[in-house]
Amino acid sequence: MSQPPNRAATSLVARYRDILQLRFTPAFAGLPRHALNVVSPASAVRRLVKVLGYTGLRLVGNIFRPVPQPEPLAGRVWLYVLSQNNYDALHFLRAHRPDAAMVAGQSKQIGRYNGQVGRLSLRGKLLYYWQFPVVFWGLWRQHGSLAWRFFDLIYNAIGYYEEYRRALRRYRPRAVVFANDHNDDARAMLLACQAEGVPTAYIQHASVSTIFPPLGFDLNLLEGQDALDKYRQCGPVAGQVQLVGMPKADAFVGQRNTNPVVRRVAIATNILDPTEGIAAAVQHLSAQFPELQFTLRPHPNDQRDFAQLLRPYPRVQLSDARRENVFAFLAAHDALVAADTSTHLEATLLNLASIYYRFGSTGGSFDYYGYAAHGLVDYAPALPDIDALLTRYQQGKPADLYLKAGYYNATLGTPHEGHSQQLALAVLDQWLSS
């Protein structure tokens, strides 16, 4: 006779299936090999080494590492951040509300804001690693070899939920505001809040994808109809939804590019873009357009040596995304060449001519954000197509390119344009008071 299912084990596996939702999508498993290796090495031996390093440096290291608290956390509105971009997206709330506090996991890297973020202790994560065999076996039964391929990511996720529940019980925040809804630790914090009865809000900080988890927050402040339509494809939308535009763009709405022609071209890359494809594009464009100024801007989390890559091309400048705000960077350019990045939307809002080019990449999802499909950007299948587009924009760049972004930014062309922060704050204040 078969044994009845272990309800506790089933609940445990279901929880981690939710936390790791993005890791078991075909789109994630289909990322280009070089990009996937950054997150999870292809070699099982290297994954094991990564797990051992994580155990020693992060788990054991957290026991001896201090837990900085630049400001009190008890009873406050937590602004939970995972990155420098998250911090930038939520900082306007911190400036507005004296009861708000930036928080992150104990060892999370927040770029230039590391010292300005309160930390939640993760010292107790070690106590929960007895769960790993149970979770791994349960996910193996559901996803087969993918569980083995990503066993390091499963291992890393263990204990976040329990430690965050403990932190929530200790500090009892009034609410937790998120800028990320799909990373493992953000999912764990969301589930912990739901278990502890702590209200949650989400402020979209970048374009979203249909492979994201369903919206599960009490309040969802989205940029525009595009985000809402995509989230509806992800699953049922829980909680209140308000379309508030792009708060982080408010300060730059008055800096729209009015140059009638293109003279300065930005090249934005992310960790998915192959190095050889980036180098080929830089070489080609700098040779074809000696009269144009080019600037390469890698993703802030990209650890490749781009200074070395640009050494043969002294006229091509390099932007440090860890130090320079993306809107300030774009404001100094007339056009953008990039693959799958939400920088396309930000560029269009500033009236740059934006060109979608994949740097020779054959992996990952084509037109991940749907920008080309919806006509937000020009699509260049090959380098000669970029040549044709840039040549055309050298002769004349329309002054109304930004109007293409209306589907993505709900405040564009309305009285709220340039005032998305005020709109978001009004909605959030009313929600918190209720």
Judge if 154 and 258 occupy the same domain. Answer: no
What is the C-alpha to C-alpha distance for residues 290 and 42, in angstroms, rounded to an integer? 40
Rounded CA Rg of the chain: 22
pLDDT-derived band at 40, boundaries 50, 70, 90: very high
What is the C-alpha to C-alpha distance for residues 363 and 358, in angstroms, rounded to an integer? 10
Judge if 258 and 131 occupy the same domain. Answer: no
- Is residue 225 domain-resident? no
- Is residue 430 domain-resident? no
What is the C-alpha to C-alpha distance for residues 387 and 288, in angstroms, rounded to an integer? 8
CATH number at residue 308: 3.40.50.2000
Q: Write the pLDDT tens digit of every residue in 2-19.
A: 333 445 556 999 999 999
In order, the DSSP letters of 321-370 are TTTS-HHHHHHT-SEEEESS-THHHHHHHTT-EEEE--TT--SS-TTTT-
The residue among 421 and 64 whose pLDDT is bigger is: 421
Specify whether the CB–CB gap between 203 and 79 falls below 8 A: no
Identify the DSSP state of 49. H
Domain end: 132, 158, 184, which one?
Answer: 158
Domain end: 158, 186, 215, which one?
Answer: 158
Angle at 41 between CA 37 and CA 47, to 5 degrees: 160
- Is residue 204 domain-resident? no
What residue numbers bound the domain in which 394 lies?
251-407
Q: What 3-state class would DSSP assign to 419?
A: coil
Judge if 276 and 145 occupy the same domain. Answer: no
Q: How many domains in the chain?
A: 2
Residue 362 has pLDDT above 60, yes or no: no
pLDDT-derived band at 394, boundaries 50, 70, 90: very high
User: With 0-12 CB in 10 A as exposed, 13-18 as middle and 19+ as buried, what is 54?
Assistant: middle
User: With 0-12 CB in 10 A as exposed, 13-18 as middle and 19+ as buried, what is 20?
Assistant: buried
Identify the DSSP state of 114. G
Which of 51, 56, 25 has the alpha carbon at shortest distance from 40?
A: 51
Judge if 137 and 272 occupy the same domain. Answer: no
Q: Write the pLDDT tens digit of every residue in 280-300.
A: 999 999 999 999 999 999 998
Judge if 134 and 282 occupy the same domain. Answer: no
- Is residue 337 domain-resident? yes
**CB crowding 376-391: b at 16 or more within 10 Å, else e:** bbbbbeebeebeebbe
pLDDT above 90 coverage of the chain, percent? 75
- Is residue 92 domain-resident? no
Residue 201 has pLDDT above 90, yes or no: yes
What is the C-alpha to C-alpha distance for residues 250 and 425, in angstroms, rounded to an integer? 13
Give the pTM. 0.87
For the chain, report the end-to-end CA distance as a whole number of angstroms. Answer: 53
What is the C-alpha to C-alpha distance for residues 213 and 22, in angstroms, rounded to an integer? 7
pLDDT above 70 coverage of the chain, percent? 97
What is the C-alpha to C-alpha distance for residues 260 and 397, in angstroms, rounded to an integer? 5
pLDDT-derived band at 107, boundaries 50, 70, 90: confident
Specify whether the CB–CB gap between 98 and 38 falls below 8 A: no
What is the predicted pLDDT for the residue at 2? Answer: 34
**DSSP E strand boundaries for 43-132:** 77-80, 100-105, 118-120
Specify whether the CB–CB gap between 80 and 178 falls below 8 A: yes
What is the C-alpha to C-alpha distance for residues 193 and 160, in angstroms, rounded to an integer? 12
Judge if 255 and 153 occupy the same domain. Answer: no
Which of 223, 272, 261 has the alpha carbon at shortest distance from 406?
A: 223
Judge if 137 and 268 occupy the same domain. Answer: no
Copy the structure tokens of residue 188: 């764990």
C-alpha dist (Å) from residue 210 to 22, 228, 230: 11, 10, 5
- Is residue 96 domain-resident? no
- Is residue 188 domain-resident? no
Q: What 3-state class would DSSP assign to 177?
A: strand
What is the predicted pLDDT for the residue at 48? Answer: 95
